Amino acid sequence: MKYRNSQGFSHQQADKVGVLVTNLGTPDEPTKTALRRYLKEFLSDPRVVEVPRLIWWCILNLVILNIRPARSAAAYKTVWTDRGSPLLFHTRDQAKGIRQHLAQKWGDDVQVEFAMRYGNPAIDTTVDSMLKNGVRKLLVLPLYPQYCASTTASTFDKLSQYLQGKRWMPELRFINQYCDDEGYIRAVANKIQSHWQAHGRADRLVFSYHGIPRRYLDNGDPYHCQCLKTSRLIAEQLGLDPQHYLTSFQSRFGREEWLKPYTDATLKGLPAQGVESVQIVCPGFSADCLETIEEIGEENREYFMQAGGKRYEYIPALNADPQHIDMLVDLIERNLSDWLPVKKEEGRSERAMKQGAAQ
């Protein structure tokens, strides 16, 4: 292997701690060309689609990439804003909030950036910039509360591929899940309670998570179990009885069996069971995106209402809510632990005392 050298590197450069938050990714624009590029990168990942490569190459390049980009582009146009893709600007806002909080405590010694597993800003270019700026210790936080090989492990794969080519690797820490973190559970529960205070309660609260093929669970992926644990802990925080909430899985693709119950089928069937109103929340999504805004907020609303439902409400993701930022900062600081032994505000206080004594 040929290792990449660090251009303009100085051994006198001060060491910094880096925090990289990541999310799944988004196309650069809601066009067929951009979607084809994005989907090719996403669906070529063997972590996402565990099918023999030659067979999948033919399916992907000869069928899917000739059909799906136009459909996906049309869907993205419905959620695109003046700020661009919702997932992109929400993740940027989250990183900004984390950066501001950490800067108050640690000054310039901590650098906070964000990147996407697929699309831009890319993990390799973002980390490369951080290393050039002196980051020698790197904490990576994929914004997936529940661990899944298709998301969390894929992020690690991409990072490790980049670092394999570096002559000097940074010290590395990687947070692979926070599905039962007290701050996270409390933040989601409070988001639901705030919605109840403004709109009242519905007959049923539905926790919807992104689905994965059932065989991933059978092969040992803990995602399904962690989703159920998250739902249970949030329900306990809210004081809900089991009959007042349920967990389902959305966004399935292809013909094989995925995690059940399916969100769309569940919502179609609830009115026949006497459930006239539902509120739906997606605790596996740290930020609103196509899957929450369009699929849950619009498509599944139609399924429920057409089946006889009377009231349907989507409770938004945590996004850059202050309590969410506080929770993420706390999680990061706990994992930084011994990397930052002296807080910046303590150093400033000491200097102020010395200046006062001198005067």
User: What digits encode the pLDDT tens for the residues 204-261?
Assistant: 999 999 999 999 999 999 999 999 999 999 999 999 999 999 999 999 988 899 999 9
> What's the rounded mean pLDDT across residues 314-327?
98
- Per-residue pLDDT for 10 more than 80? no
- List the domains of the chain with CATH numbers: 16-178+321-338 (3.40.50.1400), 182-315 (3.40.50.1400)
- Per-residue pLDDT for 356 more than 50? no
> What's the rounded mean pLDDT across residues 320-341?
94
Contact 202, 255 (CB under 8 A): no
Q: Where are the alpha helices (DSSP H) in the chain?
A: 32-43, 53-59, 65-79, 86-106, 123-132, 154-163, 182-199, 214-218, 223-238, 263-269, 290, 300-306, 322-336, 344-358
**How many CB atoms neighbour CB 263 within 10 A?**
28
Sign of torsion over alpha carbons 326, 176, 110, 158: negative
Q: CA-to-CA distance for 235 and 161, rounded, in angstroms?
A: 39
- Per-residue pLDDT for 38 more than 60? yes
> What's the rounded mean pLDDT across residues 51-73?
96
Confidence category of residue 351, pLDDT binned at 50, 70, 90? very low
Confidence category of residue 342, pLDDT binned at 50, 70, 90? low
- Per-residue pLDDT for 72 more than 50? yes
- Per-residue pLDDT for 280 more than 50? yes
- Per-residue pLDDT for 353 more than 50? no
Residue 175's SS3 state is coil
Instruction: Supply the pLDDT for residue 4.
Output: 63
Pairing of strands 245-250, 135-142: unpaired
Q: For 76-130, how does the pLDDT look when each residue is reduced to its tens digit (9 = 90+)?
A: 999 999 999 999 999 999 999 999 999 998 888 899 999 999 999 999 999 999 9
Phi/psi of residue 175, nearest 5 degrees: -90, 115
Q: For 144-173, how does the pLDDT look when each residue is reduced to its tens digit (9 = 90+)?
A: 999 999 999 999 999 999 999 898 899 999
Instruction: Supply the pLDDT for residue 272.
Output: 98
DSSP states of 51-104:
S-HHHHHHHIIIIIHHHHHHHHHHHHHHH-BTTB-HHHHHHHHHHHHHHHHHHH
- Per-residue pLDDT for 15 more than 70? yes
Instruction: Supply the pLDDT for residue 6.
Output: 59
pTM of the model: 0.92
pLDDT over 90 percentage in the chain: 87
Average confidence score pLDDT of the chain: 93
Instruction: Supply the pLDDT for residue 350.
Output: 43
C-alpha triplet 303, 297, 252: angle, nearest 5°:
65
Instruction: Supply the pLDDT for residue 7.
Output: 58
